[in-house]
Amino acid sequence: MKLGRHYPALTALRARRLSLAVVPWLCAFALLAAARTRAAVAASEDDIFQSTNLLHIAIEIPEQSLQELRSSPYGFQSRRTIRGRTKVKSRIIEGSRVYTNVAVQLKGNSSFQPIDGTPALTVNFDKFAPGQKFHGLKKISLNNSLQDSSFLNEKFSRELFASAGVPVPRADHALVTLNGRELGLYVLVEGYNKQFLKRYFQQADGNLYDGGILQDIDRPLEVTSGKNPSDHTALRKLVAATREPNPENRFRVIESLVDMDRFLSMMAMEALLCHSDSYSMNRNNYRVYHDPGTDKLVFMPHGMDRVLGTHRSGLDLAVVPPMLGVAARAVVSTPEGRRRYLERAGVLFTNLFQPERLCRRLHEIDAKLASELANRPVNRRFHLASAESHAQEVEDMCSRIFARAENLEEQFAQAPDSLAPSPTPKFDARGMAEISGWRPKVINRQSRMTCEPLKQDGKALLRLVVPAGIRTASLRSRMSLPAGSYQLVGEIKVSGPPGESRRNLIFAGVIRYWSDRFGVGMHSLNWNDINFGFDVPVSREPEEIEFVCDIRGGPGEVWFDVSSLKLVRRKD
């Protein structure tokens, strides 16, 4: 594969990479993570996460136990983690090894499948047979990867988080059969348990919290291990700290409660990977460990099957995306927290998010899958696609990696104020505020249009010069709003320079990211008579709103009347 064919300009882009003074921090963290990994490898019987052989796992479950699993609760249940799923005993054969009395239970929510389908499974070798291990592991998950047909996102993403110094279970792959029925290819993931915790922490008896489904730390979280499962003092202190109104005090207190280095690295890597179904952006797919050794809370990622523009966010996701997680939002809404977050994101981008290296690693991970797929008869393929279409999926993933790297390069290259917190509008005595800070949006390195402010007849205008090859001039303005009720009013007015007549199609909208799930909520507006109302609840303040104005009419000169739109804060 010729990596350069994805984006030929990337070599030049890499030459302009950031040079940050905190690179020694990354090196030290990488060395520490490598030392821990080496210790874990030495302690295991043989490291299946680096093997070039694809595991073949045969699961045998008696018919009576299958009936129990068929009646097991599943799916979303009031959007809470399902506790007490049925566990049954099974026998597992892998190569010449036979494991008996192995606990098996169904898992998954949006990826859930019944036992007679392609079920995702939690497999515990130690629960009914103390001391029993599978390649040195007591607990694994077998994920059906229904939301990632490439089967590569989990292992690829987890290796990046680990390289950034974030504790994360390892992943690999296995071919699975159930009572002789071929289930196909699965993603094998190390379990979140005390054995995993010992790889990263000196003490493994602290509370390990499962974030569940769309639950933040201000909700009752399930404790999956820990010697004091009823003591949630540390989490309660953190929730209280996120509500501290003074930004300086808020960051100081949060830093005393949270392993801030790891937290910043986790948030930054979530943004770099467009992991929109994460803690920071969606209050989902995470664990929290209260480390007794440091008395600090450590956030850890989970569920990375939909990354790099495959779920809810595009590859142009902002370096500082809107964040729904209360702890994440509380940190980046402070000057010090935002500064350190951006610094960390820049370091990780520069040192780890290198598309040529990442694509080589991606092909290394895929090698044993591609080989197995190519050598199996058509009627026994573990992948719905052919070997050729699977190879295309890998190439598509590489293309997304290059595209994301290019977009991040553009964002970091912008003026510093473009990465600054979105301003809060200043409302006059009538409760009205102008929408300022309009900037052109650059898409996929298009030729840049020029944008300069003008004054005419006392009005504030923007003069846009749209170069050839671009048919849409897209302007964006972001602002942070406190809780309250708002109305967007006015008209969008554009014209050509004096003496020149132009006809333009105008599209306007409001982008809001908050909801029960992270995602873009685009509200289209009638361009010639705007009267759009919305509320910002206390639970979401400050909420970041993005206003959009797309002027469609091809190359040329356009004058945009920026005073034609007003934001009104309604009084209760």
Mean pLDDT of 56-66: 95
Alpha carbons 357 and 341: distance in angstroms, whole number: 24
13-17, 98-102, 152-156, 314-318, range with the lowest pLDDT: 13-17
Q: What is the pLDDT of residues 433-477, one digit of tens each?
A: 988 888 877 665 555 677 888 887 777 788 878 777 777 777 888
Is residue 262 within 8 A of residue 166, CB to CB? The reply is yes
Is residue 303 within 8 A of residue 277, CB to CB? The reply is yes
The pTM of the full predicted model, rounded to 2 decimals, is: 0.84
DSSP string, 62-77: -HHHHHHHHTS--S-B
Say whether both 437 and 346 belong to one domain.
no
3-state DSSP assignment of residue 538 = helix
| Residue 214, domain member (yes or no) | yes
pLDDT at 502: 54
Question: Which residue's entry shows tokens 């004096």?
Answer: 498
Is residue 182 within 8 A of residue 49, CB to CB? The reply is no
Q: What is the CATH number of the domain that holds 484?
A: 2.60.120.260
Band of pLDDT at residue 562, cut at 50, 70 and 90: confident
Which of residues 351, 373, 408 is at a domain's end? Answer: 351
Is residue 63 within 8 A of residue 78, CB to CB? The reply is no
Report for 45-54, 425-434, 449-458: range of highest mean pLDDT: 425-434
3-state DSSP assignment of residue 392 = helix
pLDDT at 41: 43
DSSP string, 22-54: THHHHHHHHHHHHHHHHHHHHHSSS-TTS-SSP
Q: What is the pLDDT of residues 530-544, one digit of tens each?
A: 778 888 888 777 788
Q: What is the pLDDT of residues 230-282, one digit of tens each?
A: 999 999 999 999 999 999 999 999 999 999 999 999 999 999 999 999 999 99
| Residue 363, domain member (yes or no) | no
Number of C-beta neighbours around residue 72 at 10 A: 17
Q: Say whether pLDDT at 77 is over 90.
A: no
pLDDT at 181: 92
pLDDT at 515: 64
| Residue 415, domain member (yes or no) | no
Give the whole-number percent of the chain exceeding pLDDT 70.
82
Tokens of 548: 């959009």
Say whether both 129 and 31 belong to one domain.
yes
pLDDT at 498: 66
Segment holding 269, helix H or strand E: helix 260-272
- Strand pairing partners for 222? 210
CA distances from 513 to 273, 288, 333, 418, 518 (A): 18, 25, 16, 18, 6
Q: Which of 267, 122, 95, 291 is nearest to 190 (CA)?
A: 122
Say whether both 21 and 158 belong to one domain.
yes
Say whether both 343 and 486 belong to one domain.
no
Q: Say whether pLDDT at 22 is over 70.
A: no
Range of the domain at 237: 16-351
Identity (one letter) of the amino acid at 284?
A: N
Say whether both 149 and 247 belong to one domain.
yes
Taking the CA of residue 273 as centre, how many other CA atoms within 13 Å lie in the half-sphere pointing to its CB? 31
Residue 314 phi/psi, 5° resolution?
Answer: -85, 180
Is residue 402 within 8 A of residue 409, CB to CB? The reply is no
Alpha carbons 279 and 290: distance in angstroms, whole number: 17
Alpha carbons 37 and 123: distance in angstroms, whole number: 23
Q: Say whether pLDDT at 309 is over 90.
A: no
Mean of all residue pLDDT scores within the chain: 83
Cα 462 to chain centroid, rounded = 35
Alpha carbons 146 and 184: distance in angstroms, whole number: 12
| Residue 390, domain member (yes or no) | no
Cα 452 to chain centroid, rounded = 35
Band of pLDDT at residue 528, cut at 50, 70 and 90: low
- Strand pairing partners for 452? 463
Say whether both 332 and 450 belong to one domain.
no
Band of pLDDT at residue 121, cut at 50, 70 and 90: very high
- Strand pairing partners for 493? 561
66-70, 77-81, 212-216, 283-287, range with the lowest pLDDT: 77-81
Alpha carbons 316 and 443: distance in angstroms, whole number: 8
Number of domains in the chain: 2
Q: What is the pLDDT of residues 147-177, one digit of tens each?
A: 888 899 999 999 999 999 999 999 999 999 9
Mean pLDDT of 477-499: 80
Alpha carbons 137 and 414: distance in angstroms, whole number: 46
Which of residues 303, 334, 351 is at a domain's end? Answer: 351
pLDDT at 40: 47
| Residue 407, domain member (yes or no) | no
Cα 524 to chain centroid, rounded = 26
Residue 465 phi/psi, 5° resolution?
Answer: -115, 110
Q: What is the pLDDT of residues 190-244, one digit of tens each?
A: 999 999 999 999 999 999 999 988 899 999 999 999 999 999 999 999 999 999 9
Mean pLDDT of 408-423: 78
| Residue 334, domain member (yes or no) | yes
Which of residues 331, 351, 371 is at a domain's end? Answer: 351
Say whether both 39 and 157 belong to one domain.
yes
| Residue 366, domain member (yes or no) | no
pLDDT at 414: 75
Q: What is the pLDDT of residues 371-393, one digit of tens each?
A: 777 766 555 555 555 556 778 88
Q: Say whether pLDDT at 522 is over 80.
A: no
pLDDT at 178: 96
Put the strands of the sheet holding 439-440 in their side by side order.
439-440, 472-481, 543-552, 505-512, 521-525
pLDDT at 48: 86
Q: What is the pLDDT of residues 355-367, one digit of tens each?
A: 999 999 999 999 8
Mean pLDDT of 89-117: 92
| Residue 80, domain member (yes or no) | yes
Question: Which residue's entry shows tokens 């044993």?
Answer: 368
Say whether both 345 and 450 belong to one domain.
no
Tokens of 153: 């996102």
Band of pLDDT at residue 526, cut at 50, 70 and 90: low
Q: Which is it for strands 472-481 and 521-525: parallel, antiparallel or unpaired?
A: unpaired
Is residue 61 within 8 A of residue 88, CB to CB? The reply is yes
Q: Which is it for strands 55-60 and 171-178: parallel, antiparallel or unpaired?
A: parallel
Q: Say whether pLDDT at 17 is over 60.
A: no
Mean pLDDT of 411-423: 75
Alpha carbons 325 and 58: distance in angstroms, whole number: 40
pLDDT at 277: 92
Dihedral angle sign, alpha carbons of residues 248, 324, 142, 152: negative
Is residue 304 within 8 A of residue 285, CB to CB? The reply is yes
| Number of residues that make up the chain | 572
Alpha carbons 169 and 195: distance in angstroms, whole number: 10
Mean pLDDT of 104-110: 86
Tokens of 16: 């302009």
3-state DSSP assignment of residue 229 = coil
Q: Which residue has the higher pLDDT, 489 or 223?
A: 223
Mean pLDDT of 134-157: 93
CA distances from 158 to 143, 308, 340 (A): 14, 13, 23
- Strand pairing partners for 531? 489
pLDDT at 371: 79
52-56, 120-124, 467-471, 540-544, range with the lowest pLDDT: 467-471
